[in-house]
Amino acid sequence: MTAWDRDPAARGDVVVDEVRMTYVSEGRTTVAIENASGTVRKGRFVSIIGPSGCGKSTLLDIVAGLTRPTSGQVRIGGESVTSPRRDFPMVFQDDSTLHWRTVLDNVALGLEIAGVPKAERRARARDILGVVGLRGFEHHRPRQLSGGMRQRVAIARALVMEPAMLLMDEPFGALDQQTRTLVGIELLRIWEETRTSVLFVTHDIREAVTLSDEVWVMSRRPSTILDVVHVDLPRPRDTDVLRSAQFEGYVGVLWDLIQAEVASAMREQERAAS
């Protein structure tokens, strides 16, 4: 064992350590996350899948420092994450572009907040727009762009922060199926170019297999991480890879893991509704 393996946080890995999250509402305690542990190794793409309402997004908020866990902690480089960090930018499900700013100034927003001088932040934003394939749209307003393009602006706004880890909360959830697939493939290309650590929440199994090195499967509430599936598909993941039997094999494995959880989560919701 090397020193790095013993202390993964030392080299920019993000360690989720026994995170537990409970809510108290109207005198009743709800356990949202029973126990979640795992490590996103530097430069890896990790997805979290699970039935809806299982606390995937809550876990992501905890990693982002937006929500404090009831117990446990998230660490990077030996440092505990207790408040939002600019090097952990987030891409949201809903459109989060600012309609009164140009695409370029949208992308530069985080740098502006961080106090980076105008010329430098514009230059960096321009470079990143090239990476996400939006060169030539610098002076457009978000409403002149399609939903898929706006999500790429949000991805660029996060990437320009040179993130230690990129957090994505169902970023394609509000897009139609075809757009979703195309923007997913675009993200695959961007990620293979940048190799940033990513923690990606989705409920789409195929999306998770397409993008990820590792998929964490979460159980229904009270949630735990049921299993971690390593997706050893070759990169770059071209059409051949994405149509291979091996790809379908991973989809099958994940579906088997998640099926029982989704079914019982659905039964629970139906019971609660009746």
Site for another protein in 71-100 (CB under 8 A): 83-86, 88-90, 92, 94-96, 98-100
User: 90-149: which residues touch another protein (CB under 8 A)?
Assistant: 90, 92, 94-96, 98-101, 109-110, 112-114, 141
How far, in Å, CA of 42 to CA of 214, rounded?
12
Number of residues that bind another protein (CB under 8 A): 23
Determine if 68 is a binding residue for another protein (CB under 8 A): no
* Cα–Cα distance for residue pair 221/76, rounded to 1 Å: 27
Cβ distance to another protein smaller for residue 4 or 23? 23
We find the least distance from the C-beta atom of residue 105 to another protein, in angstroms, to be: 9
| Among the listed residues 35, 43, 66, 173, the single contact to another protein using CB under 8 A | 66
User: Which positions from 161 to 200 touch another protein by CB under 8 A, shown as an x/- string?
Assistant: ----------------------------------------
Tell me the closest approach of the beta carbon of residue 161 to another protein, in angstroms: 8
Query: Residue numbers of the site for another protein (CB under 8 A)?
Result: 64, 66, 83-86, 88-90, 92, 94-96, 98-101, 109-110, 112-114, 141
